[in-house]
Chain A
Amino acid sequence: MFSVSLKSRNSPLQKLDGRTKLIFLAVIFILVLLFTDLLYITALLALVLAAWFIAKLPTQPLKEMLQFFVWIAVIILVVQVFFYPGTTNLVHISKPVPAIGFSGYLTLEGILFGLAMVLRLVVIMIVAPLMVMTTPLPELMLALVKLKIPYKFAFIMTTALSLLPSIQNRSAIIQQAQLCRGISYDSGGKFITKLKASVSLLIPLILGAFRDSQTLEVAMNSRAFGAPIKRTFLLESRFTPVDILVIAGTFTLLTVGVMLRIRGFGVY
């Protein structure tokens, strides 16, 4: 899903500097954690979704993520709906259970808070891939370095992302090799059978990654990685007027958000 980042570089979001996007990402994170009011969270979600469409990203990964998320969302919702100490009782369910803070009623606040929690996670889930899919990894690394993140740390982070496709590839090969031994990954079967099957995938995968990491270390050192010299970056990053505008907007958003929060808005 990250491979999208290398193609179609013609959307406005892809033209932005990596730093601008990192700042935007950080601000969205802060804001979404700042507020618990469903209205505010929804507004942030709308902003992130708008960015997704401005970036002309495919909606398929969005759908896949939400499908994956739906069960977690249900659990969060149920927990919040039942245990949030609301005041507006809607439906009587059972006797109160004070030990776990359950009043016996389904409350309006509980529902709203539960929804807000779910949407909060949705925002966080969408905003990170939005960043990765619109920013080629070298640009992402450069942005991290320019924002004073140590180079080695930035390198490890971006390299780990760039190795994902090759890990996927390898895991497909291992699965095929194990299928040929009579192992089946999809069968209904018992839990223990499934567990055994996944061990047969994970062990070769992990050991392979370990071996590769040694080779990688030698290869990196053979190319002067970690030389005690100020590193050159082949990529250049420059703020454009659009970047300045977006950063200004982002900071305004942050300021307004913090002000509102201080005055007590946006939370229950």
Chain B
Amino acid sequence: MPEPVVIQCREVSFLYPNGVQAIHNISLSIYRGDYIAFVGQNGSGKTTLVKHFNGLLKPSTGSVTVFGEETRDKKVSYLSRKVGYVFQNPDDMLFSSNVADEIAYGPRMLKVDPELVEAKVESILQELDLKNLRDTHPFALSLGDRQRLAVACALSLDPEVFVFDEPTTGQDFFGSQSIMGLIDELHQKGKTVIIITHDMPIVAEHAQRVIVMNKGEIALEGSPQEVFSQVEKLQSLSLKAPQVTLLARALGESSRTILHIPEMVDWLQARFPVTIKSGEELPHV
């Protein structure tokens, strides 16, 4: 039995006030526990579409329902308790004088019982490993920690769905690993996770469902295996499968799509004769 639908888009189109149509007639169901990656070139409509999920944008035509409620006449502050949205640049939202206040700000604005807020902040500090930094000024944190703090702020409203807009952009490997680890944990706890990213290895290694956008429409959709198997189609959309996938393909593997390095190493070991292992006599040509 499939999971219940948490977000439903029905024939959604959106026109910016300047007349540019950013998305055309998109219908899409997002199920509880999904781990979706939206990919596509800039201007393909990814961000415009996901901004409909918490009411930041309202469809020009069509409808978006979140947990059964239409977003049309709902405020973002109301929807933010159902769908959390973490922007790419944490510096666009941090302003409090310490980490704990920053996390508590949202629930306080929404007039949550102060005792509950207190408890929530404590549990989040614990969960995100920010306990030692609770009294630190947000701007004294490293970029990676500021990003964790931005996630903490979204967590403070206890939403069921999380949207991350380019969570790893501008980060080094360590920072990317850390934030993706955090996102994976949220997903393991049963949250629905939606990310926007340009990083294909991250898509291959983390997401369970990939939606490729192009010119305001969904160009391709499926599991990472399904999507990355369509090398030519991706190429026509100026996207590239991860190196490991391309390598397997170039070596003639067509029956399945390899997305992970260990998988590829096993595949190579099975393919290549042991005679070329070091220490053994190499056959002469």
A and B touch in the complex (CB under 8 A): yes
Residues of A within 8 A of B (CB): 170, 173-174, 176-184, 187, 193, 196-197, 199-200, 203-204, 207-208, 211
Stretch of B20-28, B106-114, B177-185, B214-222 at the chain-chain interface? B106-114
**Residue pair B56, A173 in contact (C-beta under 8 Å):** no
A to B CB contacts below 8 Å, 11 in the list: A170-B92, A173-B92, A177-B92, A180-B76, A180-B86, A181-B153, A181-B154, A183-B105, A187-B77, A207-B139, A211-B91
**Is B229 interfacial (CB-CB < 8 Å)?**
no
B149-164 to A contact mask, C-beta < 8 Å, 1/0: 0000110110000000
**Is B95 interfacial (CB-CB < 8 Å)?**
yes
**Residue pair A183, B109 in contact (C-beta under 8 Å):** yes
Docked pose: A176 CA to B81 CA in angstroms: 15
**Residue pair B91, A180 in contact (C-beta under 8 Å):** no
Complex partner residue of A183 from B54, B77, B94, B154, CB under 8 angstroms = B77
Docked pose: A233 CA to B185 CA in angstroms: 58
**Residue pair B105, A181 in contact (C-beta under 8 Å):** yes
**Residue pair A180, B54 in contact (C-beta under 8 Å):** yes
Docked pose: A200 CA to B84 CA in angstroms: 18
Which positions 67-109 of chain B face chain A at CB distance < 8 Å?
Answer: 75-77, 80-81, 84-87, 91-95, 105-107, 109
Considering only CB atoms, which chain B residue lies closest to A170 in the complex?
B92
**Residue pair A184, B109 in contact (C-beta under 8 Å):** yes
Given A176-B56, A196-B109, A200-B105; A181-B93 close (CB under 8 Å)? yes
B111 to chain A, nearest CB (A): 10
Which positions 124-174 of chain B face chain A at CB distance < 8 Å?
Answer: 139, 153-154, 156-157
Which chain B positions have C-beta within 8 A of A177?
87, 92-93
A196 to chain B, nearest CB (A): 7
B87 to chain A, nearest CB (A): 4
Which chain A positions have C-beta within 8 A of B110?
182
**Residue pair A181, B106 in contact (C-beta under 8 Å):** yes
B228 to chain A, nearest CB (A): 31
Docked pose: A193 CA to B111 CA in angstroms: 11
Complex partner residue of B91 from A176, A184, A197, A204, CB under 8 angstroms = A204
B102 to chain A, nearest CB (A): 9
Given A180-B80, A181-B80; A174-B92 close (CB under 8 Å)? yes
Complex partner residue of B80 from A182, A197, A211, CB under 8 angstroms = A182
Docked pose: A208 CA to B95 CA in angstroms: 11
Given A176-B56, A200-B105, A207-B139; A182-B81 close (CB under 8 Å)? yes
Q: Which of A173, A180, A182, A200 has the most CB of B within 10 A?
A: A180
